[in-house]
């Protein structure tokens, strides 16, 4: 139920933000279409804890701040490598263990790896993630497992 309400709130907020018109007619149309979409999504059985991760919602902003810091650091590192005349890259394909117990946790981890420049997740297995890294140093950072531990901490119960 909470997930259905969450879907309706998100849809209504997006409608209000994107339309920018606040006449009674358009607001009624918006309300009707939001309710209709919620009804369809409910019938399709796609409204659950994965599309609306309410149980970890309060922990996500903390993780995002940390992730943005990591993304900026990685961006500066890759920028230096690109602008270096010697092009000091040593691409490597390797696997890191994924200790997350839920699919949602694994997806967050794999997406965080890809979002950080210099590392791209190329395959997600049952308990490993295959990663292509631009440099050996970037690969070592990821093998250290700091990012994986953080995701495992807040992913919640399976």
Name the site residues for another protein (rule: CB under 8 A).
14, 17-18, 20, 71-72, 75, 78-79, 82-83, 87, 89-93, 110-112, 114-123, 132, 134
53, 72, 109, 136, 141 from 68: Cα distances, Å? 20, 6, 14, 22, 16
Which residue has 């997740």 as its token pair?
Answer: 121
Gap between the Cα atoms of 24 and 26, Å rounded: 6
Closer of 21 and 39 to another protein (Cβ): 21
C-beta of 39 vs 72, nearer to another protein: 72
**Least separation, in Å, of the C-beta of 119 and another protein?**
8
Nearest to 38, CA basis, from 78, 3, 82? 3
CB-nearer residue toward another protein: 119 or 152: 119
Question: What's the min distance (Å) between Cβ of 134 and another protein?
Answer: 4
Question: Nearest approach, Cβ of 9 to another protein (angstroms)?
Answer: 15
- Alpha carbons 34 and 8: distance in angstroms, whole number: 6
How would you list the strands of the sheet with 92-97, edge to edge?
92-97, 128-133, 119-124
**Nearest approach, Cβ of residue 82 and another protein (Å):** 4
Q: Which is nearer to another protein, 99 or 111 (CB)?
A: 111
């Amino acid at each position: 139920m909470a997930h259905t309400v969450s879907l309706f709130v998100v849809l209504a907020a997006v409608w209000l933000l994107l339309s920018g018109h606040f006449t009674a007619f358009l607001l009624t149309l918006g309300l009707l279409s939001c309710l209709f979409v919620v009804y369809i999504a409910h019938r399709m059985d796609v409204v659950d804890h994965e599309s609306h991760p309410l149980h970890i919602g309060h922990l996500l902003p903390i993780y995002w701040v940390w992730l943005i810091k990591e993304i900026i650091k990685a961006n500066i590192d890759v920028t230096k490598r690109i602008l270096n005349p010697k092009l000091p890259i040593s691409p490597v394909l390797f696997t890191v263990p994924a200790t997350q117990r839920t699919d949602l946790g694994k997806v967050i981890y794999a997406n965080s790896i890809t979002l950080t420049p210099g590392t791209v997740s190329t395959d997600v297995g049952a308990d490993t993630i295959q990663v292509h890294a631009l440099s050996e140093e970037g690969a070592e950072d990821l093998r250290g497992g700091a990012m994986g531990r953080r995701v495992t901490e807040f992913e919640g119960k399976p």
